[in-house]
Structure 1
Amino acid sequence: MQLSHHCRQTSCSHKPAACLHLRAHVQRNPHHASSGTRILQQQQQQQQHQRHLIVASVQQQQHDRSLQSAAPDSSSHTVDKQAAGDAAAAASPTAAAGPASSGRWQLLSRSNLAGGTLEVVAWEGERCLRIWLPPGYSSVDAHRAPYPAVYLNDGQNLFGDCATLSGASWGAAGAAAQLIAAGKLPPFVVVGIDHAGPLRSLEYTPCTPGSGPRGFRSDASDWPGGGIGAYLGRVRDEVLPWVSAHYPVSTDPQDRVFGGSSFGGIAALAAGMCGAEGCGFGALLVESPSLWIGDPEPEAFLQEVLAYKGSWPSRVYLGMGGREYSGTRGGQRAEHDANFPRYLKSLYASLTLSGLGPSRLAWAFEPEHAHTESAWAARLPAALQFLGGGWWQRWLQRYDNELFFTIPRRLKAGMPGQLLFFNRRNSHTLAGARGGLKMIVGSNGWQHTQHLQMKLAGEVQRPELKEPQQLREQVLDGWRAEYRGTQEEQLRQQEQEFQHRMATERDRLAAARAATAAAAAAAAAAGSAGGGESGVGGVAQQEQQLREWQQHLDDQERQWWARPPLAPAVSPQIQSVLYQQPASCSIGEGSSDWLLVQLPPLPADAYEINFVFCDAAGTAYDNNDSNDFWLPVRQPEQLLPWTPGGGGGGSSDGGLSRPARSSGTVAAVAATFAGDACGWLAPGRGLEAYAEALDAATAAAERPAEEAVAAAAASCQYFFFSLPPVPVAGAAASLFVNKSRLCSGLHEATA
């Protein structure tokens, strides 16, 4: 069983970095092809005829996504054996790669979830992509700085919008929203890829599952398998390009995470074994992988992973529970639970030996966790924070010369979890201040003033990983025993060499003694015959040297046998990996320059916030040279009502045409002008011209959510706005000013 022939390398084009400014933005001409479009165009030239048809369908519907009235049916997480067998027999590569159906890539639903937006898009049949956009998501901002993205298998089980066998979901949206709101991760997108129902095991595994060691998974013996290469190819060639083309997410592998649980975890490992370039992902989330699979030999895939010597993505997270088998079977046959920590230890040891130290590899083991979505949900926040740790560094580079920035970039009234980051280094008055800083903030001209304590970003963003110490010690004990065996063998060889050397030395000493004794006898005979005393003196000197030689040999033997016992240690190669310093995950590389504060929910009538920064004692201030800082506040965008069906598929929005929708939007905007508090000025233009401009802007909008943004721009709480909202270089734009908010008597001016 080999994966290499399934793993074709692919190159990802990178979106060009755009210049960031605090308040003024110019977007590239929309007629220029985006990087996502270029990816599709390149693949059109490279792929086979069946891929041509798919890409053509994507391009045809890129600006006109239709709605369908039927929502996708939920699919069981566990494969039904008989249905799987029938489906596998009927499946063929031709059928799987056939022309796209008329419902392909259509938007099925949009809903609010965890402060963000969940969009469900048809992929094939009842299979969908479930795309969660974070709170404050802005396509305009994202085009300038594309969002990182987390791609997860078993999309039906991620967000709670479909029923699961365990009755729970991963809670992926809630986990992501909490990490973003706390400042632990920058905003990112979560993409759930639905499994194939009865063909789930076929797509997620490199071989038929078999029944596991001692047949403990006999229920899976007839399940199909071996289609992982084709599935990863579809993810690479269909899912990634389409998501990148329709949602401004990063195409940099370091900004992409791929993962899943159970068979989905097997798919993640298989993707990682394609190499960092081959799989297109810079991080892997591997939860409760079913490493028992293998047919006819159980655990065959595990052995292939352990034998793999290639490169792995930059970061890998492993998670496992202590009740993976019995936890879903009423506690029965708990003896099989012992397989899973063994799998985890083997996988951890293998990846460590591959060079993944604590900065690249994290693992968790929860003894009471079962093989359920609730267990994976409990471990998800720590896993995401570790896997997305490198994302902050790109934010640091982007805002390194700024005094502050906010997440989201455009603040909204009433929205919780909005953050402000402050760079102490770029402040003229607070650069030398140490310790905590405070932010004094108010709204609408210093109303509702509050004093907020700022925190060091590095402390907030430090990963909260709980390493399984007991399993780690067991792995270390194995390495120590292996290394001790190697050391003992080396010691035996050294002892043999020492004993041989000592025997040789003692033989030489004995020969020298014999020679000295003969010389002494000769000297004695010469003395008795009346010879000189010089011969006796020379013999005495030789005997003293022999005694010193003997003492030296005795000292060597004594030191050899008195040497300390072997200390429990691992090999130097493993030590060099194990004791690496974990890489910093914070925005400031561990420095104290960046601080953050979570803004309180802004009042519903807020149109701006006013703020200054000061030290803890209140003696030094950065208040913009006494002008104070301020940022505009937008009204929250209401999710437009969705009207499924209704248009027979010809309309991109459930039967409601662009002119009808934009006319309704203009009518709503015109109603806001009926109040006396509003007085919009546009040079040489009146309300009718404004309505026409807004109509054109909403007609050009690609999604109803963008029309809501355009409609919100007419709020009387704005000082000014432009149409289009983001001016385009070389194209005409209009600036509207709210006369009622002008100062110095200008609000009374008649011209």
Structure 2
Amino acid sequence: MNQQHAIGQPTGDKPMHRALRSFRSIFAILLPGLAALGFSARSRSAEPAPPSVPAGQIVHMARVPSQYVAPHDVDVWLPPGYPKQAPYAVLYMFDGQNLFGDHPGSKLPSWQAASTAAKLIAAGKTRPFVIVGIANAQSLRMSEYFPQKPWESLTPAQRQALFSRQLGDFQILPVAPFSDAFLKFVTQELKPAIDRRFNVDPKPASTFVMGSSMGGLMAWYALSEYPGTFAGAACLSTHWPGPYLSLEAATDDPVPDAFVDYIRHDFPSPAGHRIYFDHGTRTLDAWYDPIQKRVDRLLQSKGWTGSHYQSRVFPGAEHSEKSWAARLAIPLTFLLAPR
């Protein structure tokens, strides 16, 4: 495990002022990317074509219907040679617009997930697996990916403060979180459809989930809420501050405490499960270290150690698809190690 932690709590007025100036500059840089993630409405007049990938193939499932949430586009990546190595494990990934090639639904760089996964499978470093990329809810992404039970533990005043926050013209939390409904869609509607249509192993031991930033929150929340569905989760650059409650004072943010309290009381046993966390030390990732350390200590005290748990720090890495693509092989080999 990489034990290098470069960022601690700022102390003194001058370091805090420097940190706040840096934080504001980060948001100025990230605003175009946030819009591309889905923080602005886009026309759906024309259905985009599936992204092209250098290895394997994409099956595009347009506007998958649900009784719980609005329809979601889903891209299913099938590795080279499919279905010769059936049954395949399944990795469900959030922010599906940004996973494969040049996707018409996103202006952000890709995770290059198809290329990395194909190389790992071919080298025998992972089990054969398919990737189910679930597109985010665009302007409702924050509300869809905020863990709902921790949200419900906040006081009315704290919830109102979250609703009042804006980033430029963007309302950070436009509606109350509905991540429980989203997970019902994933586990009760999408997963059965994937199990029926593709040559996959439907058992929990072959089913995993992964996300980054707010999607990283959703990955550990999915494992916790559905430990009988998922055997493991990978959470890259987990956005522990939630929807940026503390742009001006990190110590005023109640959201990390709500996440930690939920994990303390509701996280499942490590038996039969794996979980991976990581973060960098630049841009937004520079704020995650103190909270991640709290989570590491808590979960290790609950038995999450050894092959069940990994938490890594990548010095110099920033909060971006480029950084996640560069280290994607690490969580993939951790979750999907050959039997």
Name the TM-score, length of structure 2 as normaliser.
Answer: 0.72
Distance 1:276 1:187, change over 3 A: same
2:217 counterpart of 1:266: yes
Other-structure match for 2:235: 286
Residues 204-253 of structure 1, C-alpha deviations (whole Å, 9 max, x = no match): 112398878xx897976544342110000010111101111111111111
Q: Is the 8 A contact 2:72 2:135 kept in 1?
A: yes
Distance in 1, Cα, partners of 2:258 & 2:176 = 12
Residues 468-507 of structure 1, C-alpha deviations (whole Å, 9 max, x = no match): xxxxxxxxxxxxxxxxxxxxxxxxxxxxxxxxxxxxxxxx
Q: Structure 2 regions of 5+ residues with no counterpart?
A: 1-34, 152-157, 246-252
Q: Is the 8 A contact 1:211 1:293 kept in 2?
A: no
Q: Is the 8 A contact 1:203 1:228 kept in 2?
A: yes
Distance in 1, Cα, partners of 2:130 & 2:159 = 32
Distance in 2, Cα, partners of 1:308 & 1:194 = 30
| Structure 1 counterpart of 2:282, from 323, 341, 352 | 323
How far is the alpha carbon of 1:367 from its aligned partner?
A: 2.0
Other-structure match for 2:87: 146
Distance 1:185 1:161, change over 3 A: same
SS of structure 2 residue aligned to 1:352? helix
Other-structure match for 1:382: 330
SS of structure 2 residue aligned to 1:273? helix
Distance in 2, Cα, partners of 1:167 & 1:352 = 35
Q: Is the 8 A contact 1:255 1:282 kept in 2?
A: yes
Distance in 1, Cα, partners of 2:317 & 2:141 = 23
Distance 1:347 1:76, change over 3 A: same
Q: Is the 8 A contact 1:276 1:282 kept in 2?
A: yes
How far is the alpha carbon of 1:275 from its aligned partner?
A: 4.8
How far is the alpha carbon of 1:343 from its aligned partner?
A: 1.8
Distance in 1, Cα, partners of 2:159 & 2:336 = 32
How far is the alpha carbon of 1:293 from its aligned partner?
A: 2.1
SS of structure 1 residue aligned to 2:109? coil
How far is the alpha carbon of 1:131 from its aligned partner?
A: 0.7
2:133 counterpart of 1:133: no
Show the 5 A alignment for 1:495-644: none
| Structure 2 counterpart of 1:371, from 315, 319, 323 | 319
SS of structure 2 residue aligned to 1:308? helix
Other-structure match for 1:203: 144
Distance in 2, Cα, partners of 1:308 & 1:370 = 31
Distance in 1, Cα, partners of 2:224 & 2:37 = 25
Show the 5 A alignment for 1:71-150: 76-77=36-37, 79-80=39-40, 113-122=53-62, 123-124=64-65, 127-138=72-83, 141=84, 145-150=86-91
Q: Which has the higher contact order (CA 8 A, sep 6+)?
A: 2
SS of structure 2 residue aligned to 1:185? coil
Distance in 1, Cα, partners of 2:299 & 2:100 = 31
Distance in 2, Cα, partners of 1:197 & 1:342 = 29
How far is the alpha carbon of 1:160 from its aligned partner?
A: 2.2
Residues 588-645 of structure 1, C-alpha deviations (whole Å, 9 max, x = no match): xxxxxxxxxxxxxxxxxxxxxxxxxxxxxxxxxxxxxxxxxxxxxxxxxxxxxxxxxx
Code of the aligned partner of 2:234: L
Distance 1:130 1:369, change over 3 A: same
Show the 5 A alignment for 1:480-495: none
Larger Rg computed on CA atoms: 1
How far is the alpha carbon of 1:201 from its aligned partner?
A: 1.3
How far is the alpha carbon of 1:312 from its aligned partner?
A: 4.4
Residues 697-730 of structure 1, C-alpha deviations (whole Å, 9 max, x = no match): xxxxxxxxxxxxxxxxxxxxxxxxxxxxxxxxxx
Distance in 1, Cα, partners of 2:48 & 2:38 = 25
How far is the alpha carbon of 1:300 from its aligned partner?
A: 4.0
2:256 counterpart of 1:299: yes
Distance 1:266 1:241, change over 3 A: same
Q: Is the 8 A contact 2:280 2:315 kept in 1?
A: yes
Distance 1:251 1:209, change over 3 A: farther
Distance in 1, Cα, partners of 2:311 & 2:50 = 35
Distance in 1, Cα, partners of 2:89 & 2:175 = 34
How far is the alpha carbon of 1:309 from its aligned partner?
A: 4.9
Q: Give aligned pairs, total.
A: 276
Show the 5 A alignment for 1:159-558: 159-162=100-103, 167-205=108-146, 206=148, 207=151, 222-277=173-228, 280-293=229-242, 297-312=254-269, 314-325=273-284, 337=286, 339-389=287-337, 392-393=338-339
Q: Quick one: percent identity of the two aligned structures?
A: 29
Q: C-alpha root-mean-square deviation of aligned residues, in Å?
A: 3.2
How far is the alpha carbon of 1:175 from its aligned partner?
A: 0.8
Name the TM-score, length of structure 1 as normaliser.
Answer: 0.34
Q: Is the 8 A contact 1:322 1:365 kept in 2?
A: yes
Distance 1:310 1:264, change over 3 A: closer
Q: Structure 1 regions of 5+ residues with no counterpart?
A: 1-74, 85-102, 328-336, 394-751
Q: Is the 8 A contact 1:157 1:170 kept in 2?
A: yes
Q: Is the 8 A contact 2:36 2:108 kept in 1?
A: no
Q: Is the 8 A contact 1:285 1:317 kept in 2?
A: yes
Code of the aligned partner of 1:355: G
SS of structure 1 residue aligned to 2:304? coil
How far is the alpha carbon of 1:310 from its aligned partner?
A: 3.9
Residues 160-214 of structure 1, C-alpha deviations (whole Å, 9 max, x = no match): 23268774111110110110121211321011001111111111112398878xx
SS of structure 2 residue aligned to 1:195? coil
Distance in 1, Cα, partners of 2:126 & 2:159 = 37
Distance in 1, Cα, partners of 2:116 & 2:214 = 22
Distance 1:164 1:308, change over 3 A: farther
Distance in 2, Cα, partners of 1:209 & 1:345 = 25
SS of structure 2 residue aligned to 1:368? coil
Distance 1:160 1:225, change over 3 A: farther
Q: Is the 8 A contact 1:111 1:117 kept in 2?
A: no
How far is the alpha carbon of 1:120 from its aligned partner?
A: 1.3
Distance in 1, Cα, partners of 2:166 & 2:298 = 25
SS of structure 1 residue aligned to 2:322? helix
